[in-house]
A = this chain, B = another copy of it.
Amino acid sequence: MNFDRIQAAAIRLNGRARLTPLLSSPFLDKIAGRQVWVKAECLQHTGSFKFRGGWAAVSALSDEEKSRGILAYSSGNHAQGVAYAAQKHGVAATILMPSDAPEIKIQNTRALGAEVILYDRSTQDRDALGETLKREKNLSLIKPFDDPEVIAGQGTVGLEIAQQAQVEGILEADVLVCCGGGGLTSGVALALERTAPHFTVRPVEPEGFDDVARSLETGVHQTNKAASGSICDAILTPSPGQITFPILKRLCGSGIVVTELEVLQAMALAFQRLRIVIEPGGAVSLAAALFHGNELSGAHVICVATGGNTDPATFKAALQTLD
C-alpha cells in the first residue's frame, strides 16, 4: 500500500466522485478557538466517503471478475458506496448487512440495485458467512477497510484536502478523521505524508469504541469490549486492520475520544452553521475539533465529516441540544 496507488485511484475517480467542499464558519471558529475546516464527505455520492473506496475497488477489477460480481459486508455506508459503484459499472453486487443496521441504509442499498443478505450480529459470524457466499458464487470480496484498493480510494480525500488547504493558505493543521477500521484514516495519512507533510492525522472515535486510540498508545492491536451500543454505528469496528494499523502507527498522532453528547452537539452545530447533515459516526471529528481543543495544537484544524446517513429520530435528538 503506497502513495502511487492513491494517485492511480484518483485518476479512476476523477469526474466520478464529487469534489466535496471544505466548509467553515466564523461561529465554529469561535467555539473551537482556532480555524475549523470541515471536509464535507457527507455530500459525497451515497452520503459518505465509502463511495470512493467502492469505486476504486470495483474499477480495479478485471472484466472477468466484473462479470462474476462482487460481495461486500457492511453496517451500511460501505454497502451503499459499493452498491452504487457496482451499479454504475454494471456489476452485480451482493451485500451482507447486519439485521440491526439502520433501516434506511438497508432500503437504500437495495434501491441501488444490490442483493442484500441480512445476518444477526450477535449470533452469526460475518466473515464465515461471507466466505461461504464468496466461494459459492465466485464473487470478488470488497472489504470495508483492509483492502489496498479501498484504502487508495479513501486516500483521495487526503489529496483533495491538501489541494483545498493550499488554496486557503493552511500550512499546518491537525486533520481529524472519524475512525472505524482505519481505511479512510490510513489512506488520508498516506496521501498527506506526500502532499502536506506538515499536517498531522488524528483518528477520532466514540467513547467505549476507542480501539484505535488504545492500539496507537500501546503499539499493539487492542479490541473493543462491545460490538454495538453507540449511536456512532458507522465506525464500530472491533479492532484496527492488519493493513491499516501499521500505516496508522507510522503516520498518525494520538487518537481522540469523544462522548455521545459531544457528537450530538457537533451534529446540531453543523446543521446550524454549515447547513450539512452529518450522522453520528461522521461527526466525531467535528466534536473533537469543537470540544477537545486542549488535545490539539496550531491555528487550524481540518475535520472529515465522513457521512450523513442518519435517521430523523437521531437528528431530532441532535437538534434538541440547541434548545
Contact = CB atoms under 8 A, between A and B. Distances in A.
A26 B260 CA distance: 32
Contacts of A21: 18-21, 43
A117 interface: no
Interface residues of A, number: 35
A312 interface: yes
A309 B26 CA distance: 15
Interface string A128-165: 00000000000000000000000000000000000000
A47 interface: yes
A274 B40 CA distance: 12
A275 B26 contact: no
B322 A42 contact: no
A308 interface: yes
Contacts of A227: none
Nearest to A23: B43
A272 interface: yes
Interface string A271-294: 110111110000000000000000
B308 A275 contact: yes
Contact of A27 (B111, B319, B320): B111
A275 B272 contact: no
Contacts of A167: 15
A271 B315 CA distance: 10
A316 interface: yes
A323 B312 contact: yes
Contacts of A15: 167
A312 B308 contact: no
29 contacts: A15-B167, A18-B21, A18-B23, A20-B21, A21-B43, A23-B43, A26-B84, A26-B112, A27-B108, A40-B43, A42-B275, A43-B274, A43-B275, A43-B276, A47-B275, A104-B272, A268-B312, A271-B277, A272-B312, A275-B276, A275-B277, A275-B278, A275-B308, A276-B276, A312-B319, A312-B320, A312-B322, A312-B323, A315-B319
Of all A-B residue pairs in the complex, the 9 with the closest CB atoms, nearest first, are A275-B308, A275-B277, A312-B319, A42-B275, A47-B275, A312-B322, A271-B277, A316-B316, A43-B275
